[in-house]
């Protein structure tokens, strides 16, 4: 029994400080992921973040509740050093709608695999006689973090299907690892290793993946033909076709929209009774602006009753 | 990341069509349809389920923003909001499943951003009053009716799934009641502003004038007194809501 009491690397005070460092990271990760949900367009990515926010909050809470048992005030967060603060700020930074891959890489390829490595190392060295309360929290956190990384891998793989996207996130990963190494890891003890889970296997993803694209087959064929004819007429300035298919108030917007556009792809079609709201993404124009057309059935087909920009109209 | 973000930063896949609720209602009425789907046809049931789906999505996003936007609120408040994020993410998945069950797909109907706009209130107390008590209270009414319609149609899938969502919504209203009180303790003016915000929501979002007091067979959407009592609304609050729906314009 005496031998079992030996071999714990951390004193009560050091354990408490370390747990405050863990709590800082878990709390900040909770808030960051929660804040990103609204800024993330892709539904699977939104849902993966939504599912995991609560787990991370519970990790922070569990660490916070453990603190008074170690002679430290409850629910206190404390970064290990300024480098950790900078690292977490870097994790949080990508908040644009086109930076979902960067967000997921930050959390699921860098932060969580590193947190996992730190927790695993702590678990391996924790004393089995007098640290079971800490061990239980570590075991729970490790199981959750592993599940999170697996769940996000499928979602992330879809987002980085091209070489350009992969290069972008690789750069991001390098920058983050550099910042993490400078901080000496989240515990500030010089260990910035990550658990290797780049291609996790053996665990089924919890996410049902949906590619997020509009199904063109759901669009009425006649409506599609009308929109294409209107697009060609707007690009060519064919007033007679526009008069036939588009109400007067919408013609100017359409002509301006198609000027300089290479193509227009139908990306959405919503129903309001018999009316259809068709959304087009115009390529070849800066920012890929979108146009929304309100289409109404008429005896011989469809007529465009309104055309407007989605968001702000681009500078013409 | 900004704290808070502008409401027009809400990010969506291209397949969503976003419109103002008022305009959608006007375009429906123009075609002789009720301003709000009335659940008398499969298409209207599908449209209602799609509307709830995007509402759940916005509720998840709104609760997430509350976790991020208010780091100085009590930790337990953050925990409740983080829990709500998870609940709403499950609700999104439930309604995605129900939409598929009804042969619908995401983007079949326009998305309106009523809930999200309320979730952008700058004060945490106003958010919980407006979203958790106002709009999640409204959800109690809408879901109770949906469960009733599903039972009448003999659709146990919708009936069971929505009943579980309703149970969560009651919990969220309770959270709202708790935090409205705790966040405004000792600050009666802040409390009054939050309550005024909630009441403005109750009065404005009257679902096309179909929400009223009365039995489920008599009115379009019956104010769910039992669910609301369970959620912590007082009889006085419920009576005031019934009165306000009687004077609300068609949304």
Specify the pLDDT at position B230. 87
pLDDT tens for A245-283 read: 999 999 999 998 888 787 889 999 999 999 999 999 988
Domain assignment of residue B173, given as a range: 14-247
Q: Does B20 touch chain A (CB under 8 A)?
A: no
Q: What ipTM was assigned to the predicted interfaces of this complex?
A: 0.93
pTM of the model: 0.94
- Total domain count, chain B: 1
* B103–A contact, CB cutoff 8 A: no
Widest CA span of chain B, in angstroms?
Answer: 52
CA separation for the pair A18, A188 (Å, rounded): 9
Question: How close does chain B come to A160, measured CA to CA in Å?
Answer: 16
CB contact under 8 A, B17 and A36: no
Q: Which residues of A13-38 are buried (b: 16+ CB within 10 A; e: fewer)?
A: eebbbbbbbbbbbbbbbbbbbbbbbb
What gap in Å lies between CA A226 and CA A249, rounded to an integer?
A: 18
DSSP, collapsed to helix, strand or coil, labels residue A301 as strand
Residue A202 pLDDT grade (very low, low, confident, very high; cuts 50, 70, 90): very low
Using an 8 Å CB-CB cutoff, list chain A residues near B6.
none
- Distances from the Cα of B101 to the Cα of A154, A211, A271, B45, B92, angstroms: 25, 19, 18, 11, 14
In a domain? residue B237: yes
pLDDT at A9 over 70: yes
Lowest mean pLDDT, pick from A22-31, A62-71, A207-216, B21-30 = A207-216
**Alpha helix stretches (DSSP H) within chain A:** 12-36, 43-66, 82-92, 100-104, 112-125, 132-159, 163-183, 221-236, 239-245, 248-258
Q: What pLDDT score was predicted for residue A313?
A: 63
Q: Is residue B3 part of a domain?
A: no
Residue B86 is nearest to which of A53, A210, A213, comparing CB atoms?
A: A53
pLDDT tens digit string along A120-134? 999 999 999 989 999
Give A310's contacts in chain B (Cβ within 8 Å): 18
Q: Is residue B2 part of a domain?
A: no
Q: Is residue B202 part of a domain?
A: yes
Average pLDDT, chain A: 91
Is position B141 within any domain?
Answer: yes
pLDDT in tens, chain B (251 residues): 999 998 889 999 999 999 999 999 999 999 999 988 888 899 999 999 999 999 999 999 999 999 999 999 999 999 999 999 999 999 999 999 999 999 999 999 999 988 898 888 999 999 999 999 999 988 999 999 999 999 999 999 999 999 999 999 999 999 999 999 999 999 999 999 999 999 888 877 765 566 666 666 666 678 888 888 888 888 888 888 877 766 544 33
Q: Which residue of A has its CA nearest to B30?
A: A273
Q: What does the pLDDT read at residue A180?
A: 98
The domains of chain A, with CATH numbers, are: 3-183 (1.20.910.10), 216-309 (3.10.450.50)
Q: Per the domain annotation, does B1 fall within a domain?
A: no
- The maximal CA–CA distance of chain A, rounded, in angstroms, is 96
**Chain A residue with minimum CA distance to B14:** A267
Q: Which two tokens stand for residue A105?
A: 């890489």
pLDDT band at A8 (very low <50, low <70, confident <90, very high): confident
CA–CA min distance B238, chain A (Å) = 32
Separation in Å, CA A226 to CA A41, A230, A256, A295? 29, 6, 18, 10
Q: How far is B33 from chain A (nearest CA, A)?
A: 7
pLDDT score for A116: 97
In a domain, B83, yes or no: yes
CATH number, domain containing residue B161 = 1.20.1260.10
**Residue B165 located in a structural domain:** yes
Q: How far apart are the C-alpha atoms of A33 and B40, rounded to whole Å?
A: 40
* Structure-model confidence comparison of residues B243 and A201, the more confident one: B243
Region at A302 (left for phi over 0; alpha for psi -120 to 50; beta for the rest): beta
């Amino acid at each position: 029994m005496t031998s079992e009491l030996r071999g714990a690397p951390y004193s009560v005070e050091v354990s408490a400080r370390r747990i405050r460092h863990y709590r800082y990271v878990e709390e900040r990760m909770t808030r960051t992921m929660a804040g990103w949900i609204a800024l993330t367009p892709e539904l699977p990515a939104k849902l993966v973040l939504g599912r995991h926010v609560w787990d991370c909050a519970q990790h922070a809470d569990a660490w916070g509740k453990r603190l008074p048992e170690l002679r430290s005030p409850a629910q206190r967060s404390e970064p290990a050093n300024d480098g950790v603060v900078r690292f977490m700020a870097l994790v949080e930074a990508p908040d644009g709608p086109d930076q979902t891959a960067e967000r997921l890489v930050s959390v699921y390829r860098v932060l969580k695999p590193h947190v996992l490595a730190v927790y695993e190392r702590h678990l391996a060295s924790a004393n089995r006689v007098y640290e079971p309360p800490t061990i239980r929290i570590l075991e729970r956190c490790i199981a959750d973090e592993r599940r999170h990384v697996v769940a996000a891998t499928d979602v992330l793989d879809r987002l980085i299907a091209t070489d350009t996207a992969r290069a972008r996130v690789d750069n991001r990963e390098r920058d983050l690892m550099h910042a993490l190494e400078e901080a000496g890891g989240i515990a500030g003890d010089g260990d910035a290793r990550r658990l290797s889970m780049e291609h996790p296997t053996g665990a089924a993803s919890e996410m049902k993946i949906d590619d997020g694209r509009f199904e063109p087959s759901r669009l009425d064929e006649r409506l599609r033909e009308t929109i294409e004819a209107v697009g060609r007429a707007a690009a060519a300035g064919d007033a007679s076709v526009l008069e036939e298919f588009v109400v007067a108030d919408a013609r100017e917007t359409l002509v301006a929209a198609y000027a300089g556009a290479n193509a227009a792809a139908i990306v959405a079609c919503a129903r309001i009774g018999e009316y259809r709201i068709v959304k087009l993404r115009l390529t070849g124009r800066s920012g890929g602006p979108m146009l929304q057309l309100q289409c109404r059935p008429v005896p011989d087909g469809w007529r465009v009753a309104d055309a407007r920009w989605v968001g702000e109209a681009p500078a013409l | 990341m900004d704290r808070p973000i502008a409401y027009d930063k809400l990010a969506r896949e291209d397949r969503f069509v976003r419109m103002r609720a008022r305009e959608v209602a006007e375009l429906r009425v123009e075609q002789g349809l009720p301003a709000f789907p009335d659940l008398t046809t499969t298409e209207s049931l599908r449209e209602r389920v799609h509307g709830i789906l995007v509402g759940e999505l916005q509720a998840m996003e709104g609760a997430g923003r509350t976790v991020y936007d208010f780091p100085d609120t009590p930790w337990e408040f953050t925990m409740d909001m983080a829990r709500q994020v998870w609940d709403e993410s499950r609700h999104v998945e439930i309604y995605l499943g129900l939409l598929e069950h009804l042969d619908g797909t995401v983007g079949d109907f326009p998305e309106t951003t009523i809930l999200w706009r309320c979730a952008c209130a700058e004060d945490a107390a106003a958010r919980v009053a407006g979203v958790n008590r106002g709009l999640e209270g409204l959800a109690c009414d809408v879901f109770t009716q949906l469960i009733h319609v599903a039972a009448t149609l003999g659709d146990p899938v919708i009936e069971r799934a929505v009943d579980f969502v309703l149970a969560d919504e009651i919990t969220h209203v309770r959270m709202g009641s708790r935090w409205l009180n705790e966040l405004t303790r000792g600050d009666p003016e802040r409390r009054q502003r939050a309550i005024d915000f909630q009441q403005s929501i109750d009065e404005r979002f009257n679902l096309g004038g179909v929400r009223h007091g009365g039995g489920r067979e008599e009115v379009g959407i019956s104010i769910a007194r039992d669910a609301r009592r369970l959620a912590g609304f007082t009889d006085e609050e419920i009576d005031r809501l019934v009165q306000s729906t009687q004077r609300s314009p068609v949304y």
